[in-house]
Structure 1
């Protein structure tokens, strides 16, 4: 009962989308009614011809010609109006799908980052494509079919009742049974279609992740394992489809054909008992014709229940995402006056159980340089994400320019603090679009940002300059160049705080020196936070904070931490030894080549 209530709520919400276009909906229903009336009039005209002319063996040319012309005209009229109403319903359906997709995509864009921690991209794509297509099918086939057939049945029953109320009762006795079959089918098929939709989303997710991680799969020789997993999902989906097909083969056409056959035999039996005195030959012909036309819409409506069920399941998933919590921002629109950043007794947990950060106190003055170091899993990137406002803190909070981070509006926060991540995303688009990302800016601003990060020389070598398309096999940037490009993106707007999350991890020593010089220049206008494994990048930091299992265990300048000879000193010694070995290997290679 609970599941049915949910379905009714989803169905009502789906229908409200169509009511937004009341004019088209009204016209479509009016066209549908006229088409049904014209379609039903055909057997009635034939009944009149049989009883009034054939039965009495009289064939007035003028009357017969009029009936023939009227019959042809009605059939043409029915066809024209069916076509017109079909176009209207398709327009409504396409409009609804476009609206839902826009709402859904806008909601995805405003989801908090925590929502993507447990939501594979393939499942999101499935909701944006397959699930919204189910809504289109709902309007094109389900709603149009139900309105058409209900209108057709009502008009036919009215005409039949006028002809013979006794025979109409026989047909009416069939309807409650068919409605019962439809209810049973909907109840039985709900879970099956929901499982089919879930498996289809898993299939899309598996394909997306496999394609994105193709280099890793081939490197680890896991092609067979991933193919086997994908094959397992498709086999489960096939079994679910077969289960639905079996259900359809029992509860749809075979059962309703049996019921219509019983009604047909009843009509013939009544004619055999009463003869033409009770039922005219023309009336019997009309009723037999109408019986076929009544049962066929009933079968068609029952068959559409499968699409209805798919649309309801898809809509449940879509509306759950549309109604989900958006990224929260404050209402403080005052521009930031400084890059003063502070973490006050900050603690954080992803699952509410295991703390990732515990009681962090950090103060970064305006134009300051803060470095975060520590072994993998120490909480550096999580702390940077909290500074960006990607996650709400569990305890304590982050302040920017003396104001709580959660009080700042979206525009103030995103313009005031920016991050260059370890693995930046590059669009399959021009250099210009990759830097601007849709923001209004001149080519001079873009070139200035590229000059600042030392990437302008590389771009000028390309034939099309800023119009060079990146990715797609045309021009591929190295890992280090991608990070420089990402750095240029954020420097265009000159944020008050710049966070570099391992942004120097994949660049050579020469580029690293340029980055260090650039950071010293940028400090004149902004505060800088650098997360780095390469300690040579942060030797000039005003303060270095060493994290271990989410706690601050050391803090100070580069030289003061070395003098303490604790974890930072150990990390520095290991890197020095590693760099020394690397230089020895290079020297050995050069000697061997000479």
Structure 2
């Protein structure tokens, strides 16, 4: 679909609830155009009927002058009111659109974010939607209003003298030609500039997020050079757009205006002795300005419109991305039993990560998942979380296939503690609650279960203490405990731990282990472990190797397998620890 069609599709979606306001606005714009067109007609009557013949009929003169003033005043008032109305339509539509885009991004599948660039996504939600507002304002008010004024003025000209009107009409094809040339010249530069602005946002977000690595590797100059190169390209694209504006917009149309005015005066001079009234000349001179100025306004908007069309197309493409598949059945997570049936999956279907994997995890049990890097451990958890859908086989919880469990029931029944804990730049309470409107008692119960209640109380404002951006006020281990409390606050029947202790010290690991041991038998726990000591007490340990279950058993059983994968991993870690 072309950018123009993408933009039109987006406008239709966002402006549909404003249809009544749009039609009402169109009616009042036509009324204002008719009132403005009446002014020169009243001036013509005053000149031809009273001024030239020196017939000073004061009541009629006052009526003509008063009518002209009233028409101008009424037209101005209507335009003011409609500017507010149509600007309100634009603002509400863009507000609705921005909320729709943000909600859509939140519902996209994890596979989309594997390839998405954060800075570009932020640019689409903020900069691009803001540019769409300009599209509404320019199209709904400036261009629509200007078009109505041109049509009304040409109609009044035709009523006065259709031959002179045809001369003015020649201006329309000339303007269309200028606009066509402008689009051909500027469109590539506008599209490139919009993309480069997104690239700059992406580079800024990437640099700030990885500032410690940038400085530690002495890469400041390289990153600055890359940014400068992108910025220079943006400058070149904007200058190319500016040159198109300078040549083809105001200067060209001003020249057409002067040429047309001179032609009309010359024709009037030749025909004045044939009975052409002076009032007609006055009306035509007034109308030419009313035709040319709206056309200039229309063409002057094409620079912003071109940018807005590109932005609207990008937003519409984002809205066209398929959302994550959510469960819509009546299934519930009541016990927490998990069953994998011949599951096969690959991020690229040609390169499978898991091969016909079958596994049954009883409710309330503690299972550890271990294996070398790339063996499929995190993939197994991602499938269980419904971030991805298996290409073959099926995953069931309490006998229900995942997609037969309603989304609300699934998210409340399955909790996740990620490897890198994510904290909001908000209070400890908000980070545990996560908008679920939990009571203080529920929040504290979860914090106690995660062994973090005393830590939170020791902060200056307790549960109202701000954690800072990404939890900068806390250590990695403390953030992990907050993440565990958040997961437990939802009272899940299944708790998934993705290497939850890989970045913390041994002392904090013991605290986390104590928190998890309290849950043993109450909640089904599935833990991906890098440190094998964290899953030593697991009921069962699953060893993955290249997407297959290579070994299975508890710690003692697996250590009995001569030269087994688990035995080698465990002994190697013991050796590294100096035990």
- TM bucket (normalised to shorter chain) is over 0.9
Aligned-partner SS, 1:426: coil
CA distance, structure 2, for counterparts of residue 66 and residue 36 of structure 1: 21
Q: Structure 1 residues 10 and 473, CA, compared in 2 at 3 Å: closer, same or farther?
A: closer
Q: Structure 1 residues 206 and 378, CA, compared in 2 at 3 Å: closer, same or farther?
A: same
Q: State the partner residue of 1:586.
A: none
Aligned runs of 1:162-241 on 2, under 5 Å? 162-241=159-238
Q: State the partner residue of 1:460.
A: 457
Residues 142 and 305 of structure 1 are in contact (CA less than 8 Å); yes or no, is this contact kept in structure 2? Answer: no
Aligned-partner SS, 2:196: helix
Q: Which shifted more, 35-44 or 446-455? A: 35-44
Deviations 1:535-576 (A, max 9, x none): 111111122222233333332221222222333222222221
Do structure 1's residue 549 and structure 2's residue 546 form an aligned pair?
A: yes
Deviations 1:493-518 (A, max 9, x none): 22121111111123333332333333
Do structure 1's residue 444 and structure 2's residue 433 form an aligned pair?
A: no
Aligned counterpart in structure 2 of residue 434 of structure 1, from 411, 431, 454:
431
CA distance, structure 2, for counterparts of residue 454 and residue 73 of structure 1: 77
Residues 423 and 471 of structure 2 are in contact (CA less than 8 Å); yes or no, is this contact kept in structure 1? Answer: no
Deviations 1:209-257 (A, max 9, x none): 2111112211222111112111222211221112222222333223333
Q: State the partner residue of 1:345.
A: 342
Aligned-partner SS, 2:577: helix
Q: State the partner residue of 2:535.
A: 538
Aligned runs of 1:408-419 on 2, under 5 Å? 408-419=405-416
What's the CA shift for 1:268?
2.3
Aligned-partner SS, 2:233: helix
CA distance, structure 2, for counterparts of residue 220 and residue 36 of structure 1: 65
CA distance, structure 1, for counterparts of residue 303 and residue 139 of structure 2: 9
CA distance, structure 1, for counterparts of residue 88 and residue 535 of structure 2: 60
Residues 35 and 79 of structure 1 are in contact (CA less than 8 Å); yes or no, is this contact kept in structure 2? Answer: yes
CA distance, structure 1, for counterparts of residue 15 and residue 275 of structure 2: 47
Deviations 1:422-454 (A, max 9, x none): 111110111111101011211111111111111
What's the CA shift for 1:77?
2.2
Unaligned runs of 5+ in 2: none
Do structure 1's residue 377 and structure 2's residue 374 form an aligned pair?
A: yes
Residues 469 and 475 of structure 1 are in contact (CA less than 8 Å); yes or no, is this contact kept in structure 2? Answer: no
Q: Structure 1 residues 314 and 156, CA, compared in 2 at 3 Å: closer, same or farther?
A: same
Q: State the partner residue of 1:160.
A: 157
User: TM-score, length-normalised on structure 2?
Assistant: 0.94
What's the CA shift for 1:409?
1.9
Do structure 1's residue 576 and structure 2's residue 574 form an aligned pair?
A: yes
Aligned-partner SS, 1:355: coil
What's the CA shift for 1:263?
2.4
Report the number of matched residues: 578
Tell me the C-alpha RMSD between the 2 structures: 2.2
Residues 10 and 312 of structure 2 are in contact (CA less than 8 Å); yes or no, is this contact kept in structure 1? Answer: no
Q: Structure 1 residues 446 and 16, CA, compared in 2 at 3 Å: closer, same or farther?
A: closer
CA distance, structure 2, for counterparts of residue 291 and residue 155 of structure 1: 12
Q: State the partner residue of 1:506.
A: 503
Aligned counterpart in structure 1 of residue 362 of structure 2, from 365, 371, 376:
365
What's the CA shift for 1:187?
4.5
CA distance, structure 2, for counterparts of residue 350 and residue 572 of structure 1: 29
Residues 471 and 479 of structure 2 are in contact (CA less than 8 Å); yes or no, is this contact kept in structure 1? Answer: no
CA distance, structure 1, for counterparts of residue 278 and residue 20 of structure 2: 44
Aligned counterpart in structure 2 of residue 529 of structure 1, from 517, 526, 547:
526
Q: Which shifted more, 210-219 or 242-251? A: 242-251
CA distance, structure 1, for counterparts of residue 26 and residue 12 of structure 2: 14
What's the CA shift for 1:195?
2.0
What's the CA shift for 1:486?
0.7
Q: Structure 1 residues 175 and 238, CA, compared in 2 at 3 Å: closer, same or farther?
A: same
Do structure 1's residue 355 and structure 2's residue 357 form an aligned pair?
A: no
CA distance, structure 2, for counterparts of residue 349 and residue 192 of structure 1: 40
What's the CA shift for 1:59?
4.2
Q: State the partner residue of 1:111.
A: 108
What's the CA shift for 1:471?
0.7
